[in-house]
Amino acid sequence: MGTDNQTWGSDFILLGLSSDWDAQIFLFVLFLVMYMVTMLGNCLIVLLIRLDSRLHTPMYFFLTNLSLVDVSYATSIVPQLLAHFLAEHKAISLQSCAAQLFFSLALGGIEFVLLAVMAYDRYVAVCDPLRYSAIMHAALCAKLAITSWVSGSINSLMHTTITFQLPMCTNKFIDHIFCEILAVIRLACVDTSSNEVTIMVSSIVLLMTPLCLVLLSYIRIISTILKIQSREGRRKAFHTCASHLTVVALCYGMAIFTYIHPHSSPSVLQEKLISLFYAILTPMLNPMIYSLRNKEVKGAWKKLLWKFSGLTSKLAT
């Protein structure tokens, strides 16, 4: 790696997943379909919650935020990835790279905090149901949602600013599918161990702190559920948390593996696959998890489809 140029250049080259043309065409079709399913699923969840008054509760208010985060996260990465599958020259400008790094980090951080907020909501619902409406009032829900968005954005702004102030070598090849922070830092001409420590520390604050809150919430939730006498009551109480717990396991598990110990990542390929998991698979699965495991959402779907079929019949006649 050369060290002649100590400034950030005008553009970078993303190496992506494969240089084989047939493989790129296959991946383009696969990820395009997954991206369309992601957009459709999350947008329908938001629309459904908006249209059905029975879903105007704190839980679904936070779920709306989660769907918006998922749509935004996927959109910050996947369209550029799809375009590069069909392009011979996989370039990305400095400004686009910085914006992509900022939004991917911000939205990832927002999701972690938001999942902790949703865990607190479930804790109140299960452990203090009689005061649920009084505790989880609209003003508190709005403040918790704003805190999620602001904390993730501030963390991302700090990392993006620090990263692009590093002196860069002449190498402009980013061995990743997008401008991921660890991949961009590798382009620097200086020792980046302090940056990696900063990433680890902020990950502990923004990732492990919400995770601890999630764990504490579920310890109390499980303790309360076990005290319920009837089996049906225990089943119903656990069912209200099952979807959220599944999403928590998916999101936090991969993040801890990636960012808490950056040096321990076995390969760049694994980093790419984990990024794909976050950019495409998780946003696509989240609305499915909440739809398939939630009776209220399934009931709302049936109600909406019934209304739509009735409207269609009227128009046909």
d(CA 48, CA 81): 29
Q: Which residues of the chain have pLDDT under 50?
A: 1-5, 262-266
Beta-strand pair 173-174/11-14: parallel
Domain housing 74: 14-254+277-289
d(CA 12, CA 30): 25
Give the model's pLDDT for residue 16: 82
Give the model's pLDDT for residue 229: 79
Q: Is residue 239 part of a domain?
A: yes
Q: Is residue 133 part of a domain?
A: yes
Give the model's pLDDT for residue 304: 66
Give the model's pLDDT for residue 257: 66
Q: Is residue 4 part of a domain?
A: no
Find all residues with CB under 8 Å of 221, minimum gap 6, and list them. 122, 123, 126, 127, 237, 241
Give the model's pLDDT for residue 209: 86
Find the distance separating the first CA and the last CA of the chain, reported in whole Å.
72
Domain count, the chain: 1
Q: Is residue 8 part of a domain?
A: no
User: Taking a C-beta distance cutoff of 8 angstroms, is the pair 18, 27 a contact?
Assistant: yes
d(CA 295, CA 314): 29
Q: Is residue 298 part of a domain?
A: no
Q: Is residue 122 part of a domain?
A: yes
Structure tokens given for 74:
């996927």
Give the model's pLDDT for residue 5: 45
Could you tell me the CATH number of the domain that includes residue 77? 1.20.1070.10
User: Taking a C-beta distance cutoff of 8 angstroms, is the pair 36, 280 a contact?
Assistant: no
Give the model's pLDDT for residue 166: 81
pLDDT digits 0-9 by tens, 16-62: 887 788 888 999 999 999 999 999 989 988 988 888 888 888 988 99
Helix (H, G, I), strand (E, B) or coil at 184: helix
Q: Is residue 5 part of a domain?
A: no
Find all residues with CB under 8 Å of 5, minimum gap 6, and list them. 168, 169, 170
Beta-strand pair 173-174/91-93: unpaired
Give the model's pLDDT for residue 50: 87
Q: Is residue 191 part of a domain?
A: yes
Give the model's pLDDT for residue 3: 42
Give the model's pLDDT for residue 202: 77
Question: Measuring CA to CA, which residue among 280, 219, 223, 277 is closest to residue 245?
Answer: 219
Helix then strand then coil, % of the chain, to nearest 5: 80, 5, 20
